[in-house]
Structure 1
Amino acid sequence: MPADLKIDFVSDVSCPWCAIGLASLELALRRLQGEVRAQVHVQPFELNPGLAPGGEDITEHLTRKYGSTREQQAAARDAIRERGAAVGFEFRKEGRDRVYNTFDAHRLLHWAGLQDPARQQALKKALFAAYFTQGRSPEEHEVLVDAAVAAGLEPAAAREVLASGAYAQEVRQQEQFYLQAGIHAVPAVVINDRHLISGGQPPEVFEQALRQLAGAAA
């Protein structure tokens, strides 16, 4: 009998390492079929909750936040693109133009999770693809609705969620829960509410950790 694991994937849709981490986790879970039966829940984290509508130029943002130069950012972008390709996720060669507020995306993800965790995970992947592969803004409601459709969710219901401001309180509560639990960087993968795997790890790291936890659970 496979071991049942609850996995909370804490992340932001504007975080490239989160896109890598989710792809790596999914690859590890495919390798563990028959050993592990996991349900993945996407949880909210905002890297830049204070961004104004329209976002900020990505080069200016990274320079202000990390003190990095254009050359350093270009090298990091190349490394991220290579890591993504290794796990089947495509990053645009030119990278991102801007960084955006992602709160509405998290509200939509919360709603999706109430419908079906599998569709929530599919929505998360569609949002990553919209931003990092297609260069679209995760702030724009039509982009979010298109991602919902790609995940098999009802577009009219998605538009209603976005227009109404629904689930704002629930998202903020979840964000505070993980901050108070000590999570200040993402991705953070929490297994069975107890075990933490930090960062966009390679699939082999997730595979080994999940196999060990599944054995302990058994």
Structure 2
Amino acid sequence: MYESQVTFTIDTTCPWLDQALSQVQSPSVPFTLYFDPYQPSSDLPDTVPDRSQWALQHKHNDNPEAQQLYQAHMASLAEPLGVPLTFAGPTGNSFHAHRVIQLVQESDGAAVTNRLVDELFRLYFAEGRHPAEDDTLIAACVTAGVPEEQAKALVADREKGQKQVKEKIRTVGMDVNAVPVVMVEGRRRDLTLDGLKTIADYVKALKTIVKESS
């Protein structure tokens, strides 16, 4: 049996990959999902009150048509998940969320971390919540299966894991220019998918690895 690690480099709100993993179940090539942190806007303030206005200015060069095209594209990709997207609400620096994700990954493993990332996506895009505020992170941890008191302590101790996660972000950033990036390890070769893809794209890559590694 060959065990494949799937390394998912994200900025906390990329949901599609686990949908693909649920469709590709192979006893001969089990997949283990691992999350790497990346911050495209590490200098972002802790809180930006209006994420839509910030994106218009900083991502779409004050071009409303470009922003509308982006939002329509995101909505089309999210449609198979049945998750309504909102582009309103606050945003802010995502480091605190990365710190929590990495610590949960170390202590609770892949399945809990995957549920945590999914719930952060839902809270951010469906409910318009801040991606890294304490209440958002505690709620996501509890939904993922982390005991509430453990979640509160983990979120409150902002020094815990800070140095290691900063170094991890720095190291990952040396090889990554944009996210998400998915790297699937195979017996014969690894496959890397850069940029946001459809679920079908990820399924195709996973099936290729199964075929080549069985």
TM-score between both structures, scaled by the size of structure 1: 0.85
SS of residue matched to 2:176:
coil
Q: Deviations over 1:54-79 (max 9, x none)?
A: 22532442223431422331232122
Shift of 1:215: 2.6
* 1:123-138 mapped onto 2 (5 Å cutoff): 123-138=116-131
Partners in 1 of 2:182 and 2:112 — Cα distance? Answer: 19
Shift of 1:11: 0.4
Shift of 1:148: 0.5
CA shift in 2, pair 1:132/1:59, >3 Å: closer
Query: Structure 2: which amino acid aligns with 1:32?
Result: V
Does structure 2 retain, via aligned residues, the 8 Å contact 1:102–1:139? yes
| Aligned match of 1:78 | 72
| Aligned match of 1:8 | 7
Comparing 65-74 with 161-170, which one deviates more in the overlay? Answer: 65-74
| Aligned match of 1:97 | 89
| Aligned match of 2:32 | 39
| Aligned match of 1:207 | 203
Query: Structure 2: which amino acid aligns with 1:28?
Result: A
Does structure 2 retain, via aligned residues, the 8 Å contact 1:59–1:70? no
SS of residue matched to 1:119:
helix
Q: Deviations over 1:105-125 (max 9, x none)?
A: 111101110112110110000
Indicate the percent of aligned positions where both proteins have the same amino acid.
22
Q: Does residue 1:173 correspond to 2:163, yes or no?
A: no
RCO comparison, higher one (Cα < 8 Å, 6+): 1
Q: Deviations over 1:65-105 (max 9, x none)?
A: 4314223312321221121012443313xx23333111111
| Aligned match of 2:213 | 217
Partner of residue 151 from structure 1, selected from 117, 123, 144: 144
Structure 1 stretches of 4+ moved >3 Å: none
Shift of 1:46: 1.3
| Aligned match of 1:112 | 104
RMSD: 2.0
Shift of 1:208: 1.8
For structure 1, the 5+ residue unaligned runs are none
Does structure 2 retain, via aligned residues, the 8 Å contact 1:58–1:99? yes
Shift of 1:133: 0.5
- Number of residue-to-residue matches in the alignment: 207
| Aligned match of 2:42 | 49
Partners in 1 of 2:62 and 2:204 — Cα distance? Answer: 34
Partner of residue 28 from structure 1, selected from 8, 20, 23: 20
Query: Structure 2: which amino acid aligns with 1:7?
Result: V
Partners in 2 of 1:174 and 1:192 — Cα distance? Answer: 20
TM-score between both structures, scaled by the size of structure 2: 0.87
Partners in 2 of 1:139 and 1:9 — Cα distance? Answer: 19
